[in-house]
Structure 1
Amino acid sequence: MGPVAVALGIVLGISGAGAGGVTAAHAAPDEVPGAPPRTGAAPGPAAPRPVCTAEDPRAAELSGLVAEGPPGAGPVRYRAIVDGGGTGEVLTLDPVTCAVTEIRDTGVRVTDVEDLGATPDGTLWLADIGDNRGDRGTVRLVELPVSGPARAHDLVYPDGPRDAEAILLADDGTPLIVAKTTGAAGVYRPAGPLDGGAAPVTLDRVGEVVLPYSATSGGPLGATGTRTVTGGAVGPPGADGGRVAALRTYTDAWVFPLRPPPDGRVSADALVEALRAAPLPVPLPDEAQGEAVALDGRGTLHSGSEARGLSPAGVRAVPGVATAATAAAAPVVAQPAEVPRTGSFPPWLPAVAGAGVLGVLLLAGIGAMVLHGRRRS
């Protein structure tokens, strides 16, 4: 698979494993000659609305989020993980109050779990990929099925240790890991199947994501945090507005429309391809430390923040994100020229008609003169 890039209407870097650097600029399509002027871009997403505040201290460091529910509907529960530490626990949160209703321990030793994803069969994937000091020889994904024991999958980067906080999951469980790097963030996928074996699976660097600076306020790092990828999510099958993927920073989410094959299953290749396109920006202002993101069956984006200072952890929602992202990606279709109403004439017709009548009269006059001359001779 070729390199990955985020097309944001800016100059961006594109590079694949072993490839030289390339730059490209993306701009709005040219207007179609003769077409009416554009009436404006597709409507953007709504402002985030509060859903609930996590008062329970066990959910204070909310870092990864999954919104579980039926197709076309909102969540019936949140699944969540908290940042840092050696816990391999998954919290179940009430989708109205954020109260912790259940805790499931994976029983797997972890170092720094940073994100949580799910596949359509309900399997949860814990991303033990945090590496603040850059000294981990391997990172780990923990596969937690609906029932039965968890399995650990160890992974090794091809270009040395790095910190990461975001995964995007294909429907078969193949992950894309996006590094937590300001600027060009590497995108990695396993070079082979994840079978839970003792030997770590090598990751391939399949490209990089380059996000722009944002004017959205919030986060702990100022302008730098607006470009730092802190979480990822893939929308479920049957979602209103179509399936999309999202990457978030401390201040914004960037939503990419997916184009799955006819069977509707999203592959790792489809995710890589989606990251080439221009995403929809979704501002998530004034979150103290926004790291969690999820997508539900209504096409709503759910955003979670850790507690920081006097700001508690909590969840907010932005409705209609999948629909807005799909509409924004739709090609602009030229409108046909206006057809004159019955009984009316275009403004240029009298002039053309007048010129035609005058021409006919002149020709008739010349013909009469010639005929008269012949008769006299």
Structure 2
Amino acid sequence: MGVRERMSRGWCLRVGVALTALLAVAAAPGAAVAGAPGAGTPVCQVRDDRLVELSGMVVTDTGYVVVNDGADDESRRRIFFLDQRCAVVRTVAYPSQPRDTEDLAIGADGTIWVADTGDNDRTRRTVAVWRLAPGADKPVLHRLAYPDGPHDAEALLLDRDGRPLIVTKGGSGTVTLYASTTALRPATTTPLAPVGEVVLPTTNTSNPFFFLGRGVVTGAATAPDGHRVALRSYADAFEYDVPDGDVVAALTRGTARVTPLPDEPQGESITYSRDGRSLLTVSETADQPPGTRPTILSYPVATATVATSRPAEPTTTAPTPSTALRPAAGDTDAARDRMWPVAAVGGVLLLALVGLAGVLRRRRPARR
């Protein structure tokens, strides 16, 4: 990352923090889920200097697999295997340069899937997933294309057939699920189709991005037994039961249990522990004080169930940018309470969003 870009990100951070602070008085959500926030329990600390932008993590029998957000440094553009003490024991390089790797998923057979789906500027003609078979020395690239224009996405799940399921980042508390329309093949661009929407519960959990951070999805995970899945924001984890293996139905029609993940610096990773009793997270630390190390944290899974702000049914079209911040008809007061500051202080919010985008943007790579 160059000096000019680092200075720009620092300015955007200051602007974003200052302006979102101005919104704090006016934007406190009503009818929010009252969590019981508490710091997670440290599991281990990642001390490898290449791992400062961790955006995806899965658990294995011997430790963890992690990836950085799309990093400028070539040494960071790898799939990293860690032992149970968070020490790097193996790395796998990509055969070509990824654009913006954001999340990981692991199949029942141990196959690692990497979501190369980040698109802060929404300029990518295609996104991709990388598939690393057990024991393989390089991942295979599969290109994907949205039917309705670019989307920023930072979360990946697998459906009951092992098919990648992309979860958009959203912004207003509603996110869209996309799945491939045909089997994935190398050297071929596979069309995606929207298969449903998820409405996140409204919470009041403290996080660096205030209410903006509660309405986006930055990671996803599947329990080892496959009977639960979790989505995370910068503030919370939302867990859904999947009793029959239908992940899409569970997310779009189910109810969520909320586990607060308060005040993580920039939480974008989530996975389950091997026994499924805990949720594990790790944050990016690139913009934190010198010497700050990523630390894997453990949270006991929630037991209370919280209804979503409105039932979400499968959809055949994704929300457009012009409607992404507008509550849909039928939203409850909780959803409207979350969105009324946008109308009240629209101009200031726009600047705050610009500031947040500057903090999260990694780079502007050439189109692939």
* TM-score > 0.5, shorter chain as reference: yes
For 1:141 and 1:123, how far apart are their aligned partners in 2? 12
Structure 1 residue 47, shift from structure 2 partner: 5.7
Distance 2:36 2:107 in 1: 28
In the superposition, the TM-score normalised over structure 2's length comes to: 0.67
Once the two structures are TM-superposed, the CA of residue 45 in structure 1 deviates from its matched residue by 10
TM-score (norm 1): 0.65
After TM superposition, which residue ranges in structure 1, 4 or more long, deviate above 3 angstroms? 43-47
What is the alpha-carbon distance in structure 2 between the residues aligned to residue 93 and residue 172 of structure 1? 28
> Equivalent residue for 1:93?
82
Q: What is the CA–CA distance in structure 2 between the aligned matches of 1:158 and 1:100, rounded to whole Å?
A: 39
Give the Cα separation in 1 of the matches to 2:249 and 2:162. 17
Letter in 1 for 2:297: R
Give the match's secondary structure for 1:193: coil
Q: Give, in angstroms, the shift of residue 173 of structure 1.
A: 2.7
SS in 2 for 1:78: strand
> 1:198-347 to 2 correspondence within 5 Å?
198-219=187-208, 221-237=209-225, 243-260=227-244, 266=245, 270-275=246-251, 276-299=253-276, 300-307=278-285, 308-310=287-289, 311-319=292-300, 321=301, 324-325=302-303, 328=305
Within 5 A, what are the aligned runs for 1:357-376? Answer: none
Report the counterpart of residue 134 of structure 1 in structure 2: 122
Q: What displacement does 1:101 show?
A: 2.1
Q: How many residues align?
A: 263
Larger RCO, structures 1/2 (Cα 8 Å, 6+ apart)? 2
Which segment drifts farther, 179-188 or 305-314? 305-314
Deviation, 1:234, is 0.8
What SS does the aligned partner of 2:211 have? helix
Q: Which residue of 2 aligns with 1:48?
A: 40
Q: Is residue 166 of structure 1 aligned with residue 155 of structure 2?
A: yes
Q: Which runs of 5+ in 1 are unaligned?
A: 1-42, 70-75, 261-265, 330-377
- Asked whether the equivalents of residues 51 and 316 of structure 1 are also in contact (C-alpha less than 8 Å), the reply is yes
Could you tell me how far apart the structure 2 residues matched to 1:54 and 1:200 are? 36
Q: What is the letter of the counterpart of residue 241 of structure 2?
A: P
AA aligned opposite 1:257: D
Report if aligned partners of 1:169, 1:233 keep a CA contact under 8 Å in 2: no
CA contact (8 A) 2:227 2:241 kept: yes
The structure that is helix-richer by fraction is 2
How far apart in 2 are the matches of 1:137 and 1:115?
Answer: 19
Tell me if structure 2 keeps the 8 A contact 1:106–1:144: no
**Cα distance in 2, alignment partners of residues 150 and 56 from structure 1:** 22
Question: Which structure would you say has the larger Rg?
Answer: 1
Match of 1:186 in 2: 176
> Structure 1 280/160 Cα, relative in aligned 2: closer, same or farther at 3 Å?
same
Corresponding residue to 2:69 among 80, 83, 86: 83
User: Superposition RMSD on alpha carbons, in Å?
Assistant: 2.3
Instruction: Check the 8 A contact 2:159/2:248 in 1, yes or no.
Output: no
Percent of residue pairs bearing the same amino acid type: 39
Shift of 1:169: 1.2
CA separation in 2, counterparts of 1:170 and 1:122? 15
129-138 vs 251-260, greater mean Cα deviation? 251-260
Label 1:133 to 1:45 Cα distance change in 2 as closer, same or farther (>3 A): closer
Shifted more, 301-310 versus 116-125: the winner is: 301-310
Looking at structure 1, the residues matched to 143 and 56 of structure 2 have their Cα atoms a distance apart, in angstroms, of 19
CA distance in 1, matches of 2:87, 2:185: 35
Hey, what's the Cα distance between the residues in 2 that align with 1:172 and 1:121? 12
Q: What is the rounded CA distance, in whole Å, between the counterparts of 2:70 and 2:134 in structure 1?
A: 24
Deviation at 1:102, TM superposition (A): 1.7
Aligned residue identity for 1:249: S
Q: 1:191 and 1:232 mapped to 2: Cα distance? A: 21
